[in-house]
Copies of this chain bind each other. A is one copy, B any other.
Amino acid sequence: MKKSAIRVLQSLQQAGGFASAQEVHQLITGKGDRIGLTTIYRALQSLQEEKLVDVLRREDGEAIYRLCGEAHHHHLVCKKCGRTVEIYGGAIEKWADAVADEYSFREVEHSADLFGTCSQC
């Protein structure tokens, strides 16, 4: 395992959830360590191939990464102020599994996010 990959893994752990390549880069350089953005991208690709990180896409198409096995969650986002609540667990996992089973899909992942107006707005 390359040492750059290890640094990226540690950043993802620190981030605690999803992070884009740029965010990982800022997390590392923000501590004073020096690393190139190119290296981040290469490390993330290796980690993907080794199945140590998952990749998903934001709505704008930007790739976001997270440690595999980390409890994933969903988001409840206020359309006006941007306040975000993380939602863990719940019925949606069962729903996803049931649907996957019904249509004989394997290795099914899901993304689900809620958008509304929060109580303060």
We find that the number of chain A residues with CB closer than 8 angstroms to chain B is: 34
Report whether B99 and A110 are in contact in the complex, using a CB–CB cutoff of 8 Å. no
Interface: A33 (CB within 8 A) = no
A111 close to B113 (CB less than 8 A) = yes
Q: How many subunits of this chain does the assembly comprise?
A: 2
- In the complex, A87 Cα to B103 Cα: how many Å? 10
Q: Are A115 and B108 in contact (CB under 8 A)?
A: yes
Chain-B contact segment, one of A9-17, A21-29, A34-42, A56-64:
A56-64
Contacting pair B95 A90 (CB below 8 A): yes
Residues of chain A touching chain B, judged by Cβ–Cβ distance below 8 Å, are 57, 61-63, 76, 78, 85, 87, 90-92, 94-96, 98-100, 103-119
